[in-house]
């Protein structure tokens, strides 16, 4: 939640009296959108200590920053927008985070595997990349998928269930769905 505003910079907490995140918001991910808020709520409740995180369509980097400040070992972020990648690198400096890597490309450029994947993106992008996301997530890993329209909720859960995923949580927001799936 926003606690201080000064110029273009805003400071957010993932929950009251928790970890501050400084953002210059020139890309998606200010912390105000319901899908980002739900992902931040999940981050505040899961153990990220020592985990490798992948942020699909990272925007400002807010989800990766919160993950690193909660103990993640490293975060790899990618976005197809050059502006978003530049903004993310600036925001990482503002937050004094150095275990964050930015890739300005598509999911095909990612070659490692991860313990936690955030995909706070359009439903159609999640659906068209299910196999790639699955290949990048370690067995026992968590997928936090958000930005899912209600009409795609069942289809996305069903496709991941076919791959052996367990649905741990489904959050029905005002306009979207956020889900936590375990591989």
Task: Give the burial class of 30: count Cβ atoms within 10 A of its Cβ; 0-12 exposed, 13-18 middle, 19 or more buried.
Answer: middle
Q: Does the reported pTM lie above 0.85?
A: yes
How far apart, in whole angstroms, are the C-alpha atoms of residue 55 and residue 36? 12
* Local confidence band at 23 (pLDDT 50, 70, 90 cut-offs): confident
Q: Which of 55, 89, 53, 88 is nearest to 72 (CA)?
A: 53
Buried b / exposed e along 80-106 (16+ C-beta atoms within 10 A): ebeebbebbeebbeebebeebebbbee
- pLDDT tens for residues 103-141? 999 999 999 999 999 999 999 999 999 999 999 999 999
Q: Which of 103, 109, 99, 170 is nearest to 136 (CA)?
A: 109
* Local confidence band at 172 (pLDDT 50, 70, 90 cut-offs): very high
* Local confidence band at 5 (pLDDT 50, 70, 90 cut-offs): very low
Give the start-to-end residue ranges of the domains of the chain. 28-182
> Which of 3.10.250.10, 3.40.1390.10, 3.40.50.150, 3.30.70.3450 would CATH assign to domain 28-182?
3.40.50.150
Of the candidate ranges 27-36, 46-55, 62-71, 73-82, the one whose mean pLDDT is the lowest: 27-36
pLDDT at 33: 86
Residue 52 tokens read as: 């490798």
Q: Collect all residues with Cβ–Cβ distance below 8 Å to 161 and sequence separation of at least 6.
A: 167
- The H-assigned helical ranges of the chain are 34-45, 62-69, 82-94, 123-128, 130-136, 150-162
How far apart, in whole angstroms, are the C-alpha atoms of residue 153 and residue 76? 26
How far apart, in whole angstroms, are the C-alpha atoms of residue 36 and residue 1? 11
Q: Collect all residues with Cβ–Cβ distance below 8 Å to 53 and sequence separation of at least 6.
A: 64, 67, 68, 72, 74, 75, 76, 114, 115, 116, 117, 118
């Amino acid at each position: 939640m926003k606690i201080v505003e000064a110029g273009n910079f805003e400071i957010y907490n993932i929950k009251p009296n928790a970890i501050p995140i400084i953002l210059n918001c020139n890309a998606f991910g200010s912390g105000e959108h319901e899908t980002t808020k739900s992902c931040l709520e999940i981050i505040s409740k899961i153990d990220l200590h020592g985990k490798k995180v992948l942020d699909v369509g990272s925007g400002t980097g807010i989800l990766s920053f919160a993950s690193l400040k909660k103990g993640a070992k490293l975060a790899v972020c990618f976005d197809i927008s050059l502006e978003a990648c530049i903004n993310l690198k600036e925001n990482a400096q503002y937050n004094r985070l150095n275990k964050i890597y930015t890739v300005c490309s598509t999911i095909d450029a990612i070659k490692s595997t991860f313990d936690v994947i955030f995909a706070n993106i359009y439903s159609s992008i999640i659906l068209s990349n299910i196999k790639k996301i699955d290949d990048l997530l370690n067995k026992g890993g968590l997928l936090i998928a958000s930005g899912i329209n209600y009409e795609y909720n069942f289809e996305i859960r069903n496709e991941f269930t076919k791959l052996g995923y367990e649905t741990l949580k489904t959050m029905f927001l005002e306009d979207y769905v956020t889900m936590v799936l375990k591989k």
